Structure 1
Amino acid sequence: MSYLFPTYNKWPIKVKEAFGTSLIDEHGKKYLDFVAGIAVCNLGHCHPYVNEMMINQLNKVSHVSNLFHIDGQEEVAKALTSNSSGDAVFFCNSGTEANEAAIKLVRKATGKKKIITFYQSFHGRTMGSLSATGQDKIHQGFAPLLDGFSYVPFNNSKALNEAVNEDVAAIMLEVIQGEGGVHGASAEFIETINQLKEKYNLLVVVDEVQTGIGRTGKAFGYQHYNLSPDIITVAKGLGNGFPVGGLIGKAKLIESFGPGSHGSTFGGNPLAMAAANATLQTIFQDSFLKDVEEKSNYFISKLTEVLKDSEVVKEIRGKGFILGIECNQDVSSFIVALRDKGLLVLNAGPNVLRLLPPLTVTYEELDLAISLISNTLNVKLVESK
């Protein structure tokens, strides 16, 4: 008997130890981890500097309250704003909390409630964030949803133009839809968003929960585009495994989030800030991000080469180390086969394998993954019955 709600279909693995890109189960089997806590452990498991900073902080003070000044918050906020289009930060504990904060800030700042999001998007599972999510399967059983959201096909400029009017407060998007299949925004689509922002004076919210903190080879995924978001939400990789999230906003929004407008008991506590500070000090270095980009280019090139004749592979896409391999069939059996061989990967919808290795992955580990993926996907197409 389990004392847990069965909200997850758990894999048959009990992790006993983890370091770098490796997980070791209770039987001593070693896995190459291309899940990384679902794009969380960007510096790998048990990163020495992150651990050291957290232990040092733990021996001083782990939690007080946001009634007190916490030096680490200013340091982390400075790193986030210095490397983004934002000017101020609100700290919370997760991506869904960051997106809830964004929804509240949009309403408070604009006096409007209509927000345009996109089909196959994913913004979280609390009532506001699941209402923002454009997937029916996430909505099932939770009606009525939060009012005010309209969904538009992703990368469809015509549909977006038709959906936006003076009543719209904001457009909210992921520049790469992670859970929705690893689909990246087109340059044309981003330009349409910029034009609508200018025409209607609306806000642009970019959900960087999965794409932020170096995962795409830049500090934030939106920086691959001509885009300057008003609000950016972050979490996952921000604490390299310690729960921490944040909302980054432009200066014009600061007065809308004054005392009493929003809060979080645990958000931005000293321990979370120690983890985030160490993580950002490491990732927000030009040399580190360049290394991510170079390794990703190598990985994509080699994967493309070894899978070019596969009957099941349709497309390889993504940026940095958020990559998707779309197949012509359900990928669940491939995930199990790769797991049995010692490589852990995810899906992104029924037909897409999602690869999210730690950004510290080595070329040798990439070569091993390429070999395992090639051996698994270079198979005959399974005919539908």
Structure 2
Amino acid sequence: MASRASLRLAADAIITRRPATFTRSYATTTHIAPGTKVTISISTDAAAAPAVETKSPAPKKQSTTKERIDGYAPYMVATYSRPEVIFNRGEGSCLFDINKKRYIDFTAGIAVMSLGHNNADLQHTLFQQSKQLIHCSNLYHNHFTGHLSKRLVETTKKLGGMHDAASVFICNSGSEANEAGIKFARKVGKVLDPTGEKIEIVSFRNAFHGRTMGSLSATHNPKYQEPFAPMVPGFKVGDLNDIGALEGLITEKTCSVIVEPIQGEGGVTPATDEFLIALAKRCREVGALVHYDEIQCGLSRTGQLWAHSHLPKEAHPDILTTAKALGNGLPIGATIVNAHVAEKIKIGDHGTTFGGNPLVCAVAGRAVYHLSRDNLMTGVLARSKVFTERFELFKSRYPELVSGWRGKGLILGLQLTEDPAKIVAECRERGLLVITAGVNTLRFVPPLNIPFGLINEGLEILEEAIKATRGKGEEVKAETTATEETKAEEAEAEEVKQE
């Protein structure tokens, strides 16, 4: 009869798949109740233990991309209209679909994957931290929330941004970061004016600040607001870069003005330096806070750590929000505030369950380290030049289509005279991912370390797509499509062979 120790060892081998020190199978008879016997057969061969599934879920039989998408669709709330492609791997500045087709990624997950897909250092940090501590809530201290907060404040001040940055609230997303900024501004307004009248928040047309009710109320776009109206009261809207309207827009009742130094979703439209300086000046006159939303344009995307870093100190913000690149794909947001704001926020005023968890903060700390390096920021400007020079070429070659470009660093918009949807689709067919913004604008927000060779290859694909939509590239399109079909067939044959 097997000993209890032997049985425990066998069970442990089955559960953990660790090799046991013996390989025989034991039949043991044990008394469950008087007069009742049960025979249990236990295999102690660890190899017999069932494998734990770690691969992406997929049907056992071969199925097309469309069949898989149609199979999942009934179980997903339809908040997005997606093309018929399923990605299952990323590497550097490229994504790969389930047919092993490669796509050059000029989107970076909407300005998120600034250090590229599967960055080796961030992967290592994620793996190591996952073995230590993932979550313990904000009821207790952990090392990484404090470390990330300190790094954000010190790096920001060192590299010319927000000169009086003092402390940080860490949350889970850009919307949450802006929501915190809005709440903090309301609290400051009530402290400064106990009558409760200093509660108005000003934002600008074509801005995008998020989808939670507070941040959505600052996003004055009917497409986003109308389904969920009425909005939170107390929000006013103005026109970006209209200096003359600031005095009437920002009043003694204003507690905060939230603005993107470069509007991303709104069409890659920069706020002028003169406008931001005048805006900050007016805010100081009436005791309103300046809130810069750098969720998309910050963390070196413009070639400097923050899009406002070059501005004089008097135009620096009281509240600075960031997310996207901060986690390089992991969910995180941060609201950086100066002491004027921080001292008015008391324990219990705001909170988060998952925000600041050790796992994501460990990765974000490494991301900030890499994103704040001089060579990365210099590289952003060099890569930007490759894009903008080609944009000028497009403008001269296709004057009826391309009217200009906007942006800075690697947040760029190519302004077209027509809907770019067909060009986006043609690019995708040829293995290039690009997205839109605003009205008739192609948006380019690739990884900040994208190789120059991939930039040039992607821009060649973009020109092929432009030609195809203008009836000048059918031969190129046919050749590319045939090649991709061949690759897909080869990939499918390889999958069948492996199965």
The answer, yes or no, to whether TM exceeds 0.5 is: yes
Following superposition, the deviation at residue 260 of structure 1 comes to 0.3
Are 2:109 and 1:40 equivalent residues in the alignment? no
1:299-330 residue CA offsets vs partner (Å, 9 max, x unmatched): 21233224422120111111111110110001
Q: What residue number does 2:99 align with? A: 27
- Tell which structure's C-alpha radius of gyration is larger: 2
Q: What residue number does 1:256 align with? A: 344
- 1:13 aligns to what SS in structure 2? coil
1:238-259 residue CA offsets vs partner (Å, 9 max, x unmatched): 0100001010000111122221
1:93-113 residue CA offsets vs partner (Å, 9 max, x unmatched): 000000110010001012121
Q: What residue number does 1:332 align with? A: 421
Following superposition, the deviation at residue 131 of structure 1 comes to 0.3
Residue 216 of structure 1 aligns with an amino acid whose one-letter code is: T
The aligned runs of 1:1-385 (5 Å cut-off) are 1-82=73-154, 83=156, 84-85=161-162, 86-111=165-190, 112-226=198-312, 227-310=315-398, 311-377=400-466
Checking the alignment, whether the CA contact within 8 Å between 2:330 and 2:360 is kept in structure 1 is yes
Q: Structure 2 length as normaliser, TM-score?
A: 0.74
Following superposition, the deviation at residue 161 of structure 1 comes to 2.4
- 1:141 aligns to what SS in structure 2? helix
Checking the alignment, whether the CA contact within 8 Å between 1:307 and 1:377 is kept in structure 2 is no
1:215-270 residue CA offsets vs partner (Å, 9 max, x unmatched): 11111112243331000111110010000101000011112222101000000100
- 2:309 aligns to what SS in structure 1? helix
Q: Structure 1 length as normaliser, TM-score?
A: 0.96
Following superposition, the deviation at residue 378 of structure 1 comes to 5.1
Residue 280 of structure 2 aligns with an amino acid whose one-letter code is: N
The whole-number CA distance in structure 2 between the counterparts of 1:343 and 1:200 is 48
The whole-number CA distance in structure 1 between the counterparts of 2:226 and 2:292 is 25
- 2:344 aligns to what SS in structure 1? helix
User: 1:307 and 1:369, CA in 2 relative to 1: closer, same or farther beyond 3 A?
Assistant: farther
State the superposition RMSD in angstroms: 1.5
The whole-number CA distance in structure 1 between the counterparts of 2:437 and 2:246 is 24
Following superposition, the deviation at residue 275 of structure 1 comes to 1.2
The whole-number CA distance in structure 2 between the counterparts of 1:381 and 1:116 is 42
- 2:229 aligns to what SS in structure 1? coil
Following superposition, the deviation at residue 381 of structure 1 comes to 7.1
Checking the alignment, whether the CA contact within 8 Å between 1:65 and 1:265 is kept in structure 2 is yes
Following superposition, the deviation at residue 74 of structure 1 comes to 1.9
The whole-number CA distance in structure 2 between the counterparts of 1:374 and 1:228 is 40
Identical amino acids, percent of aligned pairs: 37
The whole-number CA distance in structure 1 between the counterparts of 2:444 and 2:94 is 15
1:181-224 residue CA offsets vs partner (Å, 9 max, x unmatched): 00001122112112202321211001111111111111111224
- 2:352 aligns to what SS in structure 1? coil
Checking the alignment, whether the CA contact within 8 Å between 1:116 and 1:171 is kept in structure 2 is yes
Checking the alignment, whether the CA contact within 8 Å between 1:303 and 1:370 is kept in structure 2 is no
The whole-number CA distance in structure 1 between the counterparts of 2:292 and 2:83 is 31
Residue 113 of structure 1 aligns with an amino acid whose one-letter code is: I
Gaps of 5+ in 1: none
Higher relative contact order (CA 8 A, sep 6+): 1
Q: More deviation in 107-116 or 78-87?
A: 78-87
Following superposition, the deviation at residue 2 of structure 1 comes to 1.8
Gaps of 5+ in 2: 1-72, 191-197, 472-499
Checking the alignment, whether the CA contact within 8 Å between 1:331 and 1:350 is kept in structure 2 is no
1:114-133 residue CA offsets vs partner (Å, 9 max, x unmatched): 01100000000011010011
Following superposition, the deviation at residue 163 of structure 1 comes to 1.2
The whole-number CA distance in structure 1 between the counterparts of 2:301 and 2:467 is 27
Q: What residue number does 2:58 align with? A: none
The whole-number CA distance in structure 2 between the counterparts of 1:147 and 1:282 is 41
1:9-37 residue CA offsets vs partner (Å, 9 max, x unmatched): 11211011111111110111100011111
Residue 397 of structure 2 aligns with an amino acid whose one-letter code is: D
Checking the alignment, whether the CA contact within 8 Å between 1:43 and 1:240 is kept in structure 2 is yes
Following superposition, the deviation at residue 375 of structure 1 comes to 2.6
The whole-number CA distance in structure 1 between the counterparts of 2:469 and 2:316 is 45
Following superposition, the deviation at residue 153 of structure 1 comes to 0.9
